Amino acid sequence: MPAIRFDGQAVVVTGAGRGLGAAYARLIAARGGAVVVHDAGVAQDGSGFDPSVADGVVAEIAAKGGTAAACYENLEDPAAGQRIVDFALTRFGHLDALVHNAGLVVFANLEETTPAVWDRMIAIGVDAAFHLARAAVPHMRRQSYGRIVLTTSGRAMRVEDCVPGLVAYSTAKMAQVGLMVGLAAELADTDIRVNAISPVAATRVLRRQAPELLPDLVAPAVAFLASQACTTSGAVLNAAGGRFSAGWWNRAEVVDLGSTASPEEIAAHWRRFMAPAAKPE
């Protein structure tokens, strides 16, 4: 397998000042990419502003001979996505890959999820992804190439993997799967590939007492999805501690109950509906 490189490419990574995003930015830069390190430097609750967070990663990349530039836009602003893309184009002349990693977690049960909390979670988790893609895709179309990597979460995809207090978070993360599918279908006749990463890592966002779940062990998955080597579109790549698996929506076996189907027949066949269909050889 040829080495995966990003020489001559410009890549935007949002939320790249810490944790997973910083790991993604460092790896892509180490493989020759010019990276826009985006991070508003907010606190865990989304408050504040600290440009040194993004600046620190840029300095680290530069010290190792890489190329990077810091961008500090607040993704709660609907216009921020366009400004981030414009920044990349002004600084590097083109945009070849977009990795939307930035996110926010506010633990709150349904009753505690106020309209203000909901709006903030949706602005960053859903709206920002849309605005970034809408700004990036026209440029990718013009250059006949692009890669977009969105971010979902196992917390959103399986009840068994979720915990109480993540209604807004789960909604935002699954919305990015829908955005991925819609974009992948719309861009199917181009060389713009759209996929999603579902990472598990010990970070400040969803803290885990698991030092083996290093962000650096997720970064190779994102580097692959953001590269020319990835020719798939519409898949979710799960990554945790060096373990990887791809996932996508899979229908169960179709059961034909005819035009007179009753609720009782649905109940009788429920287990059959829930069993995954056999995959073709």
The answer to the question of residue 4 being in a domain is no
The answer to the question of residue 123 being in a domain is yes
pLDDT at 30 over 80: yes
- 226 shares its domain with 270: no
The whole-angstrom separation of Cα 149 and Cα 152 is 10
The total of structural domains in the chain comes to 2
Which helix H or strand E contains 146, and what residues bound it? strand 146-151
Chain CA centroid to CA 61, Å? 22
Active site residue 169: yes
- 166 shares its domain with 261: no
6, 227 contact by CB (below 8 A): yes
Q: What is the pLDDT of residues 78-110, one digit of tens each?
A: 999 999 999 999 999 999 999 999 988 777 888
Q: Model confidence at 256, in pLDDT bands (50, 70, 90)? A: confident
SS3 letters across 236-277: EEEEECCEEEEECCCCECCCCCCCCCCHHHHHHCHHHHHCEC
The answer to the question of residue 157 being in a domain is yes
- 124 shares its domain with 262: no
34, 92 contact by CB (below 8 A): yes
Annotated active-site residue in 24, 72, 145, 169: 169
The answer to the question of residue 2 being in a domain is no
Average pLDDT over the chain, rounded to whole?
88
Q: Model confidence at 250, in pLDDT bands (50, 70, 90)? A: low
One-letter amino acid at 205 equals V
Which helix H or strand E contains 199, and what residues bound it? strand 192-200
Domain that holds residue 260: 251-281
Determine which of 104-108, 127-131, 221-225 has the lowest per-residue pLDDT on average: 104-108
Q: Over the Cα atoms of the chain, what is R_g? A: 20
- 98 shares its domain with 140: yes
The answer to the question of residue 3 being in a domain is no
238, 154 contact by CB (below 8 A): yes
Cα separation values, 270 from 54, 173, 251, 259, Å? 51, 28, 14, 18
The answer to the question of residue 207 being in a domain is yes
User: Percentage of residues in the chain with pLDDT exceeding 90?
Assistant: 58
pLDDT at 12 over 60: yes
- 18 shares its domain with 126: yes
Q: Model confidence at 205, in pLDDT bands (50, 70, 90)? A: low
- 105 shares its domain with 236: yes
pTM as predicted: 0.89
Residue with tokens 């349904």: 110
Looking up residue 102, the CATH number of its domain turns out to be 3.40.50.720
The answer to the question of residue 269 being in a domain is yes
Higher pLDDT: 44 or 125? It is 125
- 220 shares its domain with 276: no
- 227 shares its domain with 279: no
Q: Which two tokens stand for residue 68?
A: 């990077």
Burial of 225 per CB tally in 10 Å (0-12, 13-18, 19+)? buried
- 271 shares its domain with 217: no
- 264 shares its domain with 148: no
The answer to the question of residue 1 being in a domain is no
Instruction: Name 66's Cβ contacts closer than 8 Å, sequence gap at least 6.
Output: 26, 29, 30, 35
Instruction: Name 194's Cβ contacts closer than 8 Å, sequence gap at least 6.
Output: 133, 147, 148, 150, 180, 183, 184, 187, 233, 234
- 210 shares its domain with 281: no
- 46 shares its domain with 153: yes
